[in-house]
């Protein structure tokens, strides 16, 4: 493993045009569960007629808002979570002028909390919430402290988290910015994602650069295409590689 971290350090040292594309595995070391592993959120058994995956769909949000928000507040918001070694390492790379952008499927805001400035949030953020009627903004504490379905204090409309639910489309501008960053990158590091959720997983096809690096505990469909593949904890790997620069 030390040899592979050293290889990653050399790749980082040789490039000033790196983009990172990450998923849920980036935040597991911060105490936020992923979705598809054996201990992941989608494999939890609920005392309901719905699966966790069904509960975070647009249909469930519209038809059963009480169930949706009960699950959402309990399982998708982690107000005490702090950036881990992966988030901090990526922020350092950006500060060094090496990392151009972070493209993330995560909704926890930990990249920004670690200090990253250019972050494209494909699936939105739990930190932003808007009234569906008047578009008034509400922070994450407002949603957490609300009883049942959060309602706007200005007009009484329902307050919706700024996250992309199943059956909803991604933001076109964020997708365009992500594609632009990946297309222009010299090095693309993909980490903490199983590369099975589309359209986000399809972003890899826009990379035409020099080095593709994959860091994930389990194997992915893109492993054979990578110049460097590391099946280990991403927080440990990125911290080790950046600390050695």
pLDDT tens per residue across span 12-65: 999 999 999 999 999 999 999 875 544 545 455 555 666 767 888 999 999 999
Instruction: Examine the domain organization and report whether 61 and 87 are in the same domain.
Output: no
Is position 132 within any domain?
no
Segment 179-212, tens digit of pLDDT:
999 999 999 999 999 888 777 788 999 999 999 9
Instruction: Examine the domain organization and report whether 110 and 170 are in the same domain.
Output: yes
Instruction: Examine the domain organization and report whether 179 and 119 are in the same domain.
Output: yes
How many independent structural domains does the chain possess? 2
Cα distance between residue 39 and residue 35, in whole Å? 8
Instruction: Examine the domain organization and report whether 63 and 90 are in the same domain.
Output: no
Residue 17 · residue 212 · CB < 8 Å:
no
Q: Which residues contact 169 (CB under 8 A, 6 or more apart)?
A: none
Q: What is the helix (H) or strand (E) element at residue 174, kind and residue range?
A: helix 172-184
Three-state DSSP state, 136: coil
Instruction: Examine the domain organization and report whether 28 and 46 are in the same domain.
Output: no
123 flagged as catalytic: yes
Is position 151 within any domain?
no
Q: What is the pLDDT of residue 243?
A: 96
Instruction: Examine the domain organization and report whether 71 and 184 are in the same domain.
Output: no
Is position 137 within any domain?
no
Segment 122-147, tens digit of pLDDT:
999 999 999 999 999 999 999 999 99
Domain that holds residue 46: 41-75
* Domain CATH number, residue 182: 3.40.50.1220
Instruction: Examine the domain organization and report whether 173 and 104 are in the same domain.
Output: yes
Q: What is the pLDDT of residue 32?
A: 93
Is position 145 within any domain?
no
- Label residue 3 exposed, middle or buried (CB < 10 Å: 0-12, 13-18, 19+): exposed
Report CA dihedral (171, 176, 178, 179) to the nearest 10 degrees.
Answer: 140
- Label residue 66 exposed, middle or buried (CB < 10 Å: 0-12, 13-18, 19+): exposed
Is position 159 within any domain?
no
Instruction: Examine the domain organization and report whether 60 and 16 are in the same domain.
Output: no
């Amino acid at each position: 493993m030390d040899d592979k971290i050293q290889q990653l350090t050399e790749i980082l040292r040789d490039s000033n045009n790196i983009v990172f594309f990450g998923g849920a595995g980036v935040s597991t070391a911060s105490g936020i569960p992923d979705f598809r592993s054996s201990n992941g959120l989608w494999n939890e058994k609920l005392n309901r007629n719905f699966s966790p995956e069904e509960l975070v769909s647009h249909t469930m949000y519209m038809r059963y808002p009480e169930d949706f928000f009960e699950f959402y507040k309990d399982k998708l918001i982690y107000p005490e979570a702090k950036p881990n070694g992966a988030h901090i390492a990526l922020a350092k790379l950006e500060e060094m002028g090496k990392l151009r952008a972070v493209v993330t499927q995560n909704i926890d805001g930990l990249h920004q909390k670690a200090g990253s400035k250019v972050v494209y949030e494909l699936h939105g953020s739990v930190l932003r919430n808007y009234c569906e009627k008047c578009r008034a903004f509400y922070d994450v504490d407002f949603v957490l402290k609300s009883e049942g379905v959060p309602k706007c204090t200005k007009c009484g409309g329902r307050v919706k988290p700024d996250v992309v639910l199943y059956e909803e489309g991604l933001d076109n501008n964020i997708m365009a910015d992500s594609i632009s960053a990946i297309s222009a990158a010299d090095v693309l590091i993909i980490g903490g994602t199983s590369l099975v959720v589309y359209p986000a997983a399809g972003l890899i096809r826009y990379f035409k650069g020099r080095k593709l690096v994959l860091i994930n505990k389990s194997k992915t469909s893109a492993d054979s295409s990578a110049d460097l593949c590391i099946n280990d904890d991403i927080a440990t790997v990125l911290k080790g590689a950046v600390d050695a620069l």
